[in-house]
Structure 1
Amino acid sequence: MNALHTLLDRAADLPAEYGDGLTSHLPMALHALQRLGATDARLASFFERYGARFGARRDPVPTARRLADWTTSRGDWEAFGVLRAHFAAALAEEGATAVLAEALPPLWTGIAAAAFHGPIRAAHAVEAGHAGELATALAYWAARWQAVEAVPPPQPPLDFDAWFDRFVDAGVAAAIDAPLISGRIAKASATPIFRADAARLIPPADAVGTLARHAARLYAQSRNFTVLHIVTAARAVRVLSAFAAPADPALWPAVAAALMAAQVQRRGADTAGAWGWAEVNAAAIDSDDDHVIKLVHACMEHAKHDPDPAFLAAARCAVS
């Protein structure tokens, strides 16, 4: 068993959230660190430091047991335990590929779950190859499932650049206030501009790649915390789409609401000098900031598909 799997086993009874509804990033950050090339000792030290925030809290791993229809429990946080038991049983019986092909379509409709951490955690779990962590991730997504819907309006469609900028600008002007990103997404989706324009997008051919590039560029210009989650969510969509791609009506309204919720203030990009990927990678491995680790990992993965300098610029910004 490799070091990552050993630590994911140890993390199995740690809560999925802590504090006032904050998502645990421990399993996601551990996987990202491993992919960045961290040593086993570094993984262990990060585990100990991050794990301290849970104190003595533990969530026992439930006995695997399938539900007749798990989709009726979407969006019900109290059902997290039984959902976790369901996905553990399903994965043991059918394997990850079959379970993902069945589970993703009804999960994609709630892609905004916990500020996109549902799909983000699931993507890390898939790549980590750990069935227990994947069961927990899918259950977390289902329990925090958050649908963001938009009705196609009669107005003319918008190309990606115009659509993206419209919601970035709308967020700056809007009065959207809530303690968590998910709450701000919900409020943004109730605004007149969202109802009028969210469904006007004409997705480009490489829609997810285009989203990742635009979001990375915006993060480099703003260091915005919500935009960071759009960058990492785009990577998750890319990974999980190999099993079942999200329908456009589920993905793009959630992105529009998140762009508004970000309330971005643009500024000059931080470049961390002339650092290249090697220096940025090393800085991320040394960081104890789980969001920095995950963003750098996501940007490096995006850059494998697209050499656009936006990804290195965003990663430099994160570590500087």
Structure 2
Amino acid sequence: MHRYGPEYGGDEEGNHGMTNHAPMAAEVIVRRGLDINIDHWLDRYERRLDERPPAGDPIADWREALGDHRRLPAWTGLFASELRDRRWTDVLTQWWPRLLPGMVAGSTHGVIRVGHAVRTLRTGDSEPALNELANGLAFWAARYRPLPVSRHEVATDPRTALDHVPRLADQSGLIAHRIGRLGELPPRPAGDDPMRQLTSLVDAATRAYLSYGPAAPVLLVHTATAPNAVAHILPVLPRDLWAASYATSWSAVAAIVAMYAPAEGVDVAGGDPGTASAVLDRAAGHGDEHVLKFTDTAVEAYERRPDPDLLRAAQLAGALISTPH
């Protein structure tokens, strides 16, 4: 997949396209051992992708190049070079605080792609996995777009906090247009354990999909998959980066909820979802990349907290999102 760009389609400037989910979904398929012929799945997915643009001049000033999608090939070259010369954990630790404020980049797919690469690298280094990390970091840097991070906390649970996120009055247009309408983001749920706060946010966002999902079935899965990616990355980062990672994750999730969730969510009724294995099997039969990734996240949440509603949320995503052809 690395000869293709991280996005496809879009306008003549390369904006407003769709994200290439193939590497992220492939990681889920292989790690979960899903009953999917991955070669056939990738062959079908590959037909929609655009070739990577040719490399340009190397990046001389990384601050100036942040958020410039035209520099994507140069960003990829920069990270590939760094990952050849240094330990991947050292590269990630250096760049994490630089990229963190722009977590919403590419509808959060930059950090999600990095999360899937890190999950692979935590099982052992390999050249393809290092290349994937370089591609994920480059996408994040090229689409970097900062959001304000609330300095305030509130003594509440994550689900209540999500329900009280003020919704945009005008929820029209593409995500790039909606971000420009965001005001100050609400305070985040308080706590003194960033990892526990982060996983609680993942669990709450997964459960909230039962209420919010029908309003924007694809976009709203990222309220769970983005902080889940961060949760997989934190163990390889110094602990002094954890609190900021949780705070920024909350801001990214709150922004998506404000932009896409309905003002009044109503839980969608659903039957018994069955076991986690059954839910994963249904996701494999469905085959959509968002369904695969969200189900993977929902099952992880269920393993922490065996609430059937977490599996029902994954089941709902499969019902709302079209099966790929």
Q: TM-score, length-normalised on structure 1?
A: 0.82
Deviation at 1:241, TM superposition (A): 1.3
Work out whether residues 116 and 233 of structure 1, in 8 Å CA contact, stay in contact via their aligned partners in 2.
Answer: yes
Cα RMSD of the aligned pairs, angstroms, is: 2.6
**How far did residue 299 of structure 1 move?**
1.5
1:246 shift after superposition: 5.7
From 176, 179, 185, give the equivalent of 2:174: 179
Cα displacement (A) at 1:151: 5.6
Larger mean CA deviation between 282-291 and 267-276 belongs to 267-276
Deviation at 1:204?
A: 6.3
Q: Would you say 1:51 and 2:46 are equivalent positions?
A: yes
1:81 maps to what in 2? 73
Mark the runs of 5 or more structure 2 residues left unpaired by the alignment. Answer: 11-16, 122-128, 320-325
1:144 is matched with 143
Distance of 1:19 and 1:110 partners within structure 2: 22
Tell whether the 8 Å contact from 2:156 to 2:190 is kept in structure 1 after alignment: yes
Pair 1:239-2:227 in alignment: no
8 Å contact from structure 1 (residues 152, 199) kept in 2: yes
- Relative to structure 1, is the Cα distance of residues 69 and 160 closer, same or farther in structure 2, using a 3 angstrom cutoff? farther
Aligned counterpart, 1:112: 104
- Residue 59 of structure 2 contacts residue 65 of structure 2 at CA under 8 Å; is this kept in 1? no
Q: Which residue of structure 2 lines up, in the alignment, with residue 15 of structure 1?
A: 5
What are the superposed Cα offsets for residues 101-152 of structure 1, whole Å, 9 maximum, x if unpaired? 1111111111111111111011111223311111010000011111111464
**Is the 2:272–2:312 Cα contact (8 Å) retained in structure 1?**
no
Identify if the C-alpha distance between structure 1 residues 35 and 185 changes in structure 2 by more than 3 Å, giving closer, same or farther: farther
Match of 2:37 in 1: 42
Secondary structure of 2:172's counterpart equals: coil
Shift in Å, 1:23: 0.8
Deviations 1:3-39 (A, max 9, x none): xxxxxxxx11112111222111111111111122135
1:179-228 CA distance string (max 9 Å, x none): 23x432332x23xxxx2x62465346421112112111111233243321
Please say if 1:97 is aligned against 2:89: yes
Which residue of structure 2 aligns with residue 122 of structure 1? 114
Q: Provide the aligned length of Structure 1 versus Structure 2.
A: 294
2:21 maps to: 25
Deviation at 1:53, TM superposition (A): 0.9
Contact 2:151–2:187 (8 Å) recurs in 1: yes
**CA–CA distance in 1 between the matches of 2:277 and 2:271?**
12
Deviation at 1:273, TM superposition (A): 4.1
- Residue of structure 2 in register with 1:295 after alignment: 294
Extract structure 1 runs of 4+ deviating beyond 4 A: 60-63, 65-69, 150-153
Q: Normalising to structure 2: TM-score of the pair?
A: 0.81
Distance 1:51 1:77, change over 3 A: same
Q: State the partner residue of 1:256.
A: 254
For residues 15 and 228 of structure 1, the distance between their equivalents in structure 2, rounded to whole angstroms, comes to: 22
C-alpha displacement of 1:240? 1.3
8 A Cα contact 2:212 2:261, kept in partner: no
Task: Give the conservation status (yes or no) of the 8 Å contact 2:211–2:266.
Answer: yes
